[in-house]
Amino acid sequence: MRARRIAVANQKGGVGKTTTSVNLAASLVADDASVLLVDLDPQGNATMGSGVDKYDLETSTYEWLVDDVPFDRVARRTEGGFDLVPANGDLTAAEVALMSADDRGTRLRMRLDAAGEFDFVVVDCPPSLNVLTLNALMAVDGVLVPLQCEYFPLEGLTDLLLTIRGVRERGNSGLAIEGILRTMYDPRNRLSRDVSRQLLEYFGEDVFRTVIPRNVRLAEAPSHGLPVILYDASCTGARAYRALAGEVRRAQDVRNRAEAGSEAAPALTA
């Protein structure tokens, strides 16, 4: 399998971005994939949600990006089975440090290139379109956009799509929309249904079939430092993220087969 790098991004906070990053990583591992999760958010929520104390880090994403501390000294294996590059508030200083660097937009790409082989790399982006998010978008193959089915998150989607277009023009021409993920969905809520319908009408196949429901067990899991599939594998939230991982995995299998077929095809001669 060719490695797939995915940024989980949305400049709107509270849409399930970190929940998706942690639970997608754990669910891909449960599907027998090797996964690296990079916490690129100074809030360190993905770190805490993976069972790693952000207040007790000797090395973190900051040292990896800014000081070039080796990957093996920063990454750690989590109970969810994925490797994690953890983050804390120190990462805020990385924004300042990277602004004056010649490679400020490609630093993460270079670090990932040297990090070893994984089937999937998931990058949890901060809830803003800053230099850290730019680094993520320059380093990945696709952007997974969690979107709460309400009006304001939908309004902010336009800004993110414009940013993705700009990143394509600035050097990552292959950057794709991995998919738009409907989160915190409540079928009893008319607005949720209306926004979901609009997304399907405008974005079609770019919308994941999987819908992440509002689920108490899913909301509780981070406080225990566990992905939901380890906290309560039978709950609706866990089943939804397993389904999402299946969609992501199948899409990558299709790309791999297409790439293999293209390489195997005989060259045309004049």
| Structural domains in the chain (count) | 1
Residue 187 lies in a domain: yes
Torsion of CA 96, 6, 164, 134, to 10 degrees: 10
Residue 253 lies in a domain: yes
CATH number for the domain that contains residue 188: 3.40.50.300
* Regions of the chain with pLDDT less than 70: 1-2, 153, 263-270
Residue 266 lies in a domain: no
Residue 270 lies in a domain: no
Residue 58 lies in a domain: yes
Q: What is the pLDDT of residues 91-104, one digit of tens each?
A: 999 988 888 888 88
Domain encompassing residue 248: 4-258
CA-based nearest residue to 131, from 169, 97, 170: 97
Q: What is the pLDDT of residues 7-25, one digit of tens each?
A: 999 988 888 999 999 999 9
d(CA 153, CA 11): 9
Tokens 């899913």 sit on residue? 218
Q: What is the pLDDT of residues 58-90, one digit of tens each?
A: 999 999 999 999 999 999 999 999 999 999 999
The pTM assigned to this predicted structure is 0.93
Residue 263 lies in a domain: no
